[in-house]
Structure formats: C-alpha cells, structure tokens
A = this chain, B = another copy of it.
Amino acid sequence: MNIAIVGIGLIGGSVAIRLRETKFADKIIGVDKNEVNQKKAIQLGLVDEIMNLDEAISQAKVIILTTPVDAILELAPYILNKVKDQVVIDMGSTKINILHKIDDHPNRGRYVAAHPMAGTEYSGPEAALPNLFKDKNMVYVDAFNSDEDAFELADSITDVLEMKSIFMNAEEHDMHTAYVSHISHLTSFALALTVLEKEKSQGRIFELAGSGFESTVRLAKSSPDMWTPIFKQNRENVLEVLKEHIKQLQNLHDKLEKEDYEGLYKLIKKSNKIKRIIK
C-alpha cells in the first residue's frame, strides 16, 4: 500500500518511521511545501519519494495530514474533492472548524479525524522519533461520520503506532485539549517571557534554574508555526481556559498579598489532588 504523508515534521516523520519499521507501507510518499524539509525527509530515510500533492493523491491509498492546523483547513476540502476510495487521516490538534468545513462534502466518509496525544517541544523531520506514539492515546473525533472501511484502515495504522483508541465528539475534543494541552503551552510561553524579560536587568538569573523550572518552561521551545494556528482554531476554548487560569493565579497572588497564609496553604493542598491523575 502506498501512503502519503503531508507535512513531514515531528508527527508525520514519526508516523513514517513506524510505517517503514512494520512494513505496513510499500511506499511512503512525502509532501511538504518546505524544500529544506523535503531534502531532510529523504536524507533521514523517512520517505521514499517526494511528490507534489496532486501526484501523491493519485498514487496513495492513504493520505495522512500532519501539517499545522491552518493548512489542514485548506487541504481537507481540496483533497476530498480528488479522492475516490482513498482514506484521508487528519492528525491535527483542533477539530471543530475543520470538520465543520467538510460536513456536507460528498466524500466526508473517506475522512477520519484523529489526534495522536503525543509530541515533544521539537519540530521538523529531524525531531521524528520511532516510539513517539507507543502506549499513548489516539483520539478519534466524530468517528461515526467516517465510512466503516475508512475507519478500519485508519485504526490499523493506530495499531501500527501501538496506540490506544478513544472516542469523542469535536466539541469535547477541542475543549479538553484546551485544558490539558493548549494551556500548558501558553503557561510555558508566558513563563519564558517573564524570565527572559527579567534577565535583561539580572544577567545571572538562569544560574539558579533547576529541573523544576526546566520542566515548566520546556514547552516554550515549541514552534510558533504549529501553535499560532492551534490557538486561532481553538480560540474560544483557549480564551476560556486562559481566563480561568489567570483567575487562579490572581487568587494565589491575592492570598499572598493579603498575607492570608491559611488560604494559600489550602489552595496548594487542593492543587495536590492532581496526584490522583499524575502518578
């Protein structure tokens, strides 16, 4: 089976590695508008051949979309216009707008909306990893709108990636990812900006940075090309969680300002309940 990967970066490249390791694909076709990434993808052996999108659509049985989400928004209807029995798998991080756009498309059944809950703060073909997806969740979004055979083929790729399948509708998905993924990136970006600003007047500030700081700030290395479109596509949910998060920070601030240490203690104790979730 020929499989095309549109957007050969961290996610697309990591999918390609597994498709090759398991011999699931006979040929892996790479599509990327960035010529540097095209060359790297060939050099790193991630894909067998680089093609333009139309060639790739005509030759592939499966077309996997792993570009930034604003590009998926344009690619999805364009590709659906050209497919017959192929399967299009969208691995982007937001779903409502994209699925709304192809809702009435006659080929909607060939489209499988999936979101692999895996990643790192690095991007580009050289960031691809063989075990990025292992034991992580693949979220299928509005799976009931995909044709049975299209879903089954997508799910066999989920098996190849050694992922667990879970199911949600688009509204749940976009709201939940705002709370457990998108906000984490925003807090990291803001934390990096806070400390970089202070460094200007206090050169030695990073000498004291330990593993706690690194842990909370590492996502600030993430690509703006990937993340600006995610925030744009998931704007309402992200604004809601940002407001709530600022409120929680302001509450901690106010307790400290008023020297209400009992109140501060209680809030920290309450936040400790996250132990239940994160082992």
Residues of A in contact with B (beta carbons under 8 Å apart): 117-121, 136-137, 139, 166, 168, 172-173, 175-177, 179-181, 183-198, 202, 204-224, 227-228, 231-232, 235, 238-239, 241-246, 248-250, 252-253, 256-257, 259, 261, 264-275, 277-278
Contact = CB atoms under 8 A, between A and B. Distances in A.
A207 B274 contact: no
A93 to B, nearest CB: 10
A192 to B, nearest CB: 4
Contacts of A168: 204
A176 to B, nearest CB: 5
Contacts of A172: 202, 204
A220 B250 contact: no
B271 A220 contact: yes
A194 B228 contact: no
Query: Which has the most chain B C-beta neighbours within 10 Å: A218, A228, A232?
Result: A228
A37 B241 CA distance: 39
Which 7 A-B residue pairings sit nearest by Cβ, starting from the closest?
A224-B268, A192-B271, A192-B274, A190-B248, A184-B216, A189-B271, A180-B209
Contact of A184 (B212, B221, B242): B212
A231 to B, nearest CB: 6
Contacts of A202: 172, 175-176, 179
23 contacts: A137-B208, A176-B204, A177-B208, A181-B213, A184-B215, A184-B216, A185-B212, A186-B252, A188-B271, A190-B245, A190-B248, A191-B245, A196-B271, A197-B244, A206-B277, A220-B271, A221-B272, A222-B272, A227-B268, A246-B246, A246-B250, A246-B253, A249-B249
